[in-house]
A and B are shown apart, each in its own frame.
Chain A
Amino acid sequence: MTRPPLRTHIRFRLNEREVMREAVAASDTLLDFLRLEQRLTGSKEGCAEGDCGACTVLVGRLVGDALVYEPVNACIRFLASLDGCHVVTVEHLRGPEGALHPVQQAMVDHHGSQCGFCTPGIVMALYGLWMRVPHPTRREVEVALQGNLCRCTGYRPIIDAAMSIEAAGEDFLAAERDTVTAELMTWRDGARVEVARDGSRAVLPGDVDDLAACLEAEPEARVIAGATDVGLWVTKHLRALPVAVFVGHLEGLKQIEDGAEAIRIGAGVTYSEAEGAMGAALPHLAPYFERIAGWQVRNMGTIGGNIANGSPIGDMPPVLIALGATITLRKGAARREIALEDFFVDYGKQDRAPGEFVEAITVPKPGGFHAAYKVSKRRDEDISTVAAGIHVAVEGGKITAARIAYGGMAAVPKRAAAAEAILIGAPFGAAAFEAAAEAVAEDFAPLTDMRASAEYRMRVAQNLLRRFWIEQGADGEVAA
């Protein structure tokens, strides 16, 4: 393994110019950089936790040789992670010859702003949507705005604006795309980047092997992928980040290999990147991705991060466990593969050695019947009250395999062993699922908290098995 060269500054493009910085703490956020240092105050701080979208900016990055812009939350995006990117803020947005940009003009024409505090973020999210889908459906607009709160308008004029944006000549970012792409290409040097300030150091490994080397050398380093969790440690918990190793830029963690038997997802693949491939390979997951966070967070958060942080309410683990997913853990050059459910040992405790990191997730494509459910207080951009992954295989009218996993029901994402035992060998019918639903009570003793009571969680967990039968039963009987 050869060490990549070392670079001691980050460089990125901010709107129309290049920024180079050496003194950057791992915990420095993009929003503070914009508002406090650059005095670009168009991006607002509404919540500092990635939930309101008032700070939404676009980040352009090279995917292969293509430049891709995505809306992200500047409040929880660490500055160091922007190395090699193009940051576009609302101040940069413009139409031809001094006019408003078509997105801005539509918002004005439809009276989409009242107090205006959420408006710059909404403009940027809608711009991100319009770049991909010039004439979106209402549903596409709703999904694009899952990460943007507005407390004044009730959203009707914003949705109308989004659905009636009229292009006016070539878009300014499209016009400069080749120039920006070329600039970002010249910066792509494969170097390891290290920057620091006030006792907080950020490391951006040159490649995955270098990541393994970094973590072996400094096993106490905090691995940061999308920062959608760690970002809050800084903005909310005021926690220090003495050493952080950023992995979101590593192409080697972004591979998706779709095989006949399984799909292998690199740990650094974001929800947005995984959505298409995983939704195609496992169609029941396609609608589930829309229930995970808001668009900005889906553009940052990774499948690997959602697993590695060990949360009992992560959205991915239950549905992946139900599919029999395994994860590849790597330390140095050594790799081991374990069942995903075995990774979650207890609350806050995972089967991960110091210096070890999640490299990939392998998700089998079992035949049979599948479902992925999420129940939350608010349908979109909310944390699961209960999430469930269900897989059932049926042969000759009998259930031959069953894997049921829940989130939000225990200290870790966990399988419903008693319910599975009842299903396996039983005739594929309403009675089996009714009995399995009752057995869920033996599997879990959920908590009462601000999201829901224990009683509701249990009832919903049971009813999701009843739902599974109602939705899949008729076809199942035919198939069986």
Chain B
Amino acid sequence: MSGVKGAAGQDLRHDSAIKQVMGRADYTDDIALPEGALHAYLGLAQIAAGRIVSMDLSAVEAAPGVIGVLTAKDVPGVNDVSPTGRHDEPLLAEDRVEFHGQALFAVVAETRDAARRAAELAKVDYAPEAHVTDVAEALAADYPHVTEPLTLRRGDAAAAMADAPKRIKGQMRVGGQDHMYLEGHIALAIPGEDETVEVWASTQHPSEAQHMVAHVLGVPSNAVVVQVRRMGGGFGGKESQMNLFCAVAAMAAKKWGAAVKIRPDRDQDMIATGKRPDRDQDMIATGKRHDFLVDYEVGFDETGRILAVDGEFAARCGWSSDLSGPVTDRALFHADNAYYYPAAELRSRPMKTNTVSNTAFRGFGGPQGVIAAERMVEEIAYALGRDPLDIRKANFYGVHGDVTPYHQTVEDNIMPRVVEELEASADYQARRAAVLAHNAKGGVTRKGIALTPVKFGISFTATWFNQAGALVHVYNDGSIMLNHGGTEMGQGLNTKMAQVVADAFQVDVDKVRITKTTTEKVPNTSATAASSGSDLNGMAALDACAQIKARLVSWATEAWGVGEEAVRFAENQVHVGDEVLPFAEFIKQAYMARVHLSAAGFYKTPKIHWDRETGQGRPFYYFAYGAALAEVTIDTLTGEYEVDRVDVLHDVGRSLNPVLDKGQVEGAFVQGMGWLTTEELWWDDEGRLRTHAPSTYKIPLASDMPKEFNVRLADWSENAERTIKRSKAVGEPPFMLGISVFEALSMAVASVGDYRECPRLDAPATPECVLMAVERLRG
């Protein structure tokens, strides 16, 4: 047991908690603006697809307070912000519109209000063309893929399917999801000397923003600094989507030699057309979770054992590729969830649509794969008249095999233990019997109960992203500064990283300071994404600490004439032979002896490799596991429902900070539940997103939280791989636990048809979706 305050493994509050409750934690919009700062605002396309015949911005430029406008022609470098370098995402539209809400121009004015008003005055003539917003329509219209599809193949799926005693074919629609981070996108660019510019932004990926701004400005990356202190939520929505705002602000700042801030509104009216307000610039102009249309066929035997799976995963990618390649890949990687498929063929269809380009969102395609696997389990259970949990247990990895459809062997499987523990601790069997008994009474309210597992692969599937840097300075008063490449969006990454450093030097955590993330301190970082923040940056920070400690030990052995084993860091002190020095005193002496007290640490994840051509490899370093048990009640007259109770058991390995990890699990669960229940993206016939702001797009409220909500971490678990303190990633995996609510709703619906038929709910299961399914099953 460590004797220092806040060492790794201890419960420690978020390092900004006190500032946050006082309203003194500053976000990008709270930064005091430099003298003469200007404000930019985007003008967006008003059609879903077509050609721009002419764009007359004279009224915009003449509006009060306007300094000028920027169009594609004003881009000094390359008019492209495609994060994967596919060159398919112009910053500002050139001659074509690909979705309703695409950025056409930016107006820069003395105030934000003036810029917003002026942006409404553009006169744009379009030659509209037919558009497609829906995945099924895109498939029917033979729309192109935005990026190369992937196929995963193991065994002969067609032959195994043909031989299977039973087969079920089905289709499932899975809706997208808006991030609805409470803080919207924002960037503040401050021009510097020569070609330099400094950008403050709400970004999960400062390095990408840096490179993208440089690309758009036509300057080298060393001319651009991007920094972020904290975000008001990210969830993947600020991994590539801030490029647009950073680039526009930087362009304007350089052009007019003034600081420029850009903050899209949650909503914006179309005064010119006199229509109802239906525009939310943040929600309309930035990407979301991909909607999927999944066609599945599963072959199985009378015992419920899966023999073959064929799945086609078509995604609404939007107008450009953005991150749709890796997102749709990850859907396939998780189409097995926790189950062994003896033979499988899984294909992705990253479809172009005339909608905003969809992007990263917690789980990154994984949830859409997992929910398809769980649908197939449900299908088998209803077909055989069995409890879906029995089907799950019969197919877990380890029962009949351990190799995934991408040919990675599952080596760290703890799924059966997690599920068995939850089944017992949450009293699943008795509660399921009670639910069945309630439903047998045949009343207006019906209940459902479901226990669903999740297994989630950890690592970026783009192997090169699995690297991180950190910079540690020990100042000569013994205080420590850490900079790492990760960003703080509420998950408590900085808190955990400080704990790692405190643990390494054996000093109280309040001796360690972490401030903003900046590309000046740590270069070429990866996005804080894929749940990797602690895994990658923690190891990099540890490496930096190890380097400094090695120098300190080397110096001490020489200075005191002792062996290396005689130098020990413990409890804010350093033991050197028989002598015990306070840490600060030890550091002071080291400084006087000219020991280098700063180090850049580095880490790259070992063991992983992935060959996309063959669909084989080891894309994941390890897996995280969890399970949730949900019980719900539905109202068969209106389709409304309540989540009565949820029990969760989740694996975070040996937790770096249990209380923060529990917060991640709870928050992810509720967000996952929202995705599958009330969060609905709805486009009208003109291709406009009409659920565009919290008034129309409904994320869970406090009153939607399960009436009883018991979340436990599997405290016995430790990572089989040598991760930071044997912990596991926690950001994304518990998101998929929300599927338990979806399946419990399904069971409640199935009760009206006496469980003879799988209700095949589409997601989200809004009250409307539930009622319509009830009516359908009643026949």
Contact = CB atoms under 8 A, between A and B. Distances in A.
Contacts of B705: 154-156, 159
Contacts of A54: 182
Nearest to B694: A51
Interface in B660-699: 660, 663, 666-671, 678, 680, 682, 684, 690-691, 693-696, 698-699
Contacts of B50: none
A115 B490 contact: yes
B637 interface: yes
Contacts of A42: 22-24
Contacts of B27: 44, 117
B266 A49 contact: yes
Given A44-B183, A113-B20, A381-B701, A450 B691 contact: yes
Contact of A146 (B117, B702, B767): B702
A459 B234 CA distance: 39
A115 B230 contact: yes
A35 to B, nearest CB: 8
Nearest to A49: B695
A463 B701 contact: no
Interface in A359-383: 375, 377-383
A111 B13 contact: yes
Contacts of B21: 100, 104-105, 107-108, 112-113, 119-120, 123
Interface of A is mostly: loop
B701 A44 contact: no
Interface string A8-51: 00000000000000000000000000010001011111111101
B124 interface: no
A306 interface: no
Interface in A93-125: 93, 100, 104-105, 107-108, 111-120, 123
A52 B182 contact: yes
Given A49-B695, A116-B490, A377-B698, A151 B233 contact: yes
Contact of A236 (B117, B269, B639): B269
B32 interface: yes
Given A44-B182, A115-B183, A379-B640, A153 B704 contact: no
Interface string A153-183: 1111111000000000000000000000000
B154 interface: no
Contacts of B25: 116, 119
A120 B182 CA distance: 12
Contacts of A452: 768
Contact of B230 (A93, A116, A143): A116
A133 to B, nearest CB: 15
Interface string A69-103: 00000000000000000000111010000001000
A interface, size bucket: 35 or more
A237 B269 contact: yes
Nearest to B271: A238
A379 B704 contact: yes
B702 A142 contact: yes
A456 B698 contact: no
A100 B230 CA distance: 22
Nearest to A105: B21
B605 interface: no
Contacts of B700: 154-155, 378
A377 B680 contact: yes
Interface stretch (A280-288, A322-330, A398-406, A464-472): A464-472
A59 interface: no
A375 B277 contact: no
The B interface is mostly helix, strand or loop, or mixed, namely loop
B768 A453 contact: yes
Contacts of A91: 22-24
B504 to A, nearest CB: 25
A142 B183 contact: no
Interface string B268-287: 11010000010000000000
A115 B772 CA distance: 37
A460 B232 CA distance: 38
Interface in A425-476: 449-453, 455-456, 459-460, 463-464, 466-467, 470
A148 interface: yes
B550 interface: no
B652 to A, nearest CB: 15
A241 interface: no
Contacts of B670: 153-155
Nearest to B689: A450
Interface size bucket, B side? 35 or more
A51 B693 contact: yes
B644 interface: no
A113 B14 contact: yes
A320 interface: no
A123 to B, nearest CB: 5
Most A C-beta atoms less than 10 A away, residue of B180, B680, B691, B702: B702
B14 A111 contact: yes
Contacts of A113: 14, 16-17, 20-21, 490
Most chain A CB neighbours (cut-off 10 Å) among B180, B235, B703: B703
A90 B22 contact: yes
A464 B670 CA distance: 29
B120 interface: yes
Given A46-B183, A48-B267, A49-B694, A153 B663 contact: yes
Contacts of A148: 702
Among B267, B489, B691, B709, residue most surrounded by chain A Cβ atoms (within 10 Å): B267
A212 B635 CA distance: 48
Instruction: Select the residue from B691, B698, B775 with max chain A CB neighbours within 10 A.
Output: B698
Nearest to B234: A115
B89 to A, nearest CB: 26
A142 B709 CA distance: 15
A446 B640 CA distance: 20
A141 interface: yes
A48 B266 contact: yes
Interface in A126-153: 141-143, 145-146, 148-153
A156 B637 contact: no
A149 B24 CA distance: 19
Contacts of A112: 21
B64 to A, nearest CB: 10
A453 B766 CA distance: 12
Contact of B18 (A41, A108, A238): A108
Given A46-B183, A48-B267, A237-B271, A232 B277 contact: yes
Contacts of A41: 23, 26, 29-30
Interface in B19-67: 19-27, 29-30, 32
Given A100-B22, A375-B640, A378-B701, A156 B666 contact: yes
A151 B693 contact: no
Contacts of A52: 182, 694
Contacts of A39: 32
B181 interface: yes
Interface in A226-240: 232, 235-239
The 6 A-B residue pairs with the shortest CB-CB distance, nearest first, are: A42-B23, A115-B490, A117-B232, A116-B20, A154-B670, A114-B490
Given A46-B266, A155-B702, 20 more contacts: A35-B29, A42-B22, A42-B23, A46-B694, A51-B693, A91-B24, A100-B22, A104-B18, A105-B21, A117-B181, A117-B183, A143-B703, A154-B700, A155-B705, A236-B277, A238-B117, A375-B638, A378-B678, A380-B703, A450-B696
Interface of B: 13-14, 16-27, 29-30, 32, 116-117, 120, 179-184, 230-235, 265-269, 271, 277, 444, 489-492, 637-640, 659-660, 663, 666-671, 678, 680, 682, 684, 690-691, 693-696, 698-705, 709, 711, 766-768, 771-772, 775
28 contacts: A43-B23, A44-B182, A46-B266, A47-B266, A47-B267, A52-B182, A93-B22, A107-B21, A111-B660, A114-B490, A114-B663, A115-B233, A116-B14, A117-B27, A117-B232, A117-B233, A141-B702, A151-B181, A155-B701, A156-B666, A156-B709, A238-B117, A238-B271, A379-B640, A380-B701, A450-B691, A452-B768, A460-B639
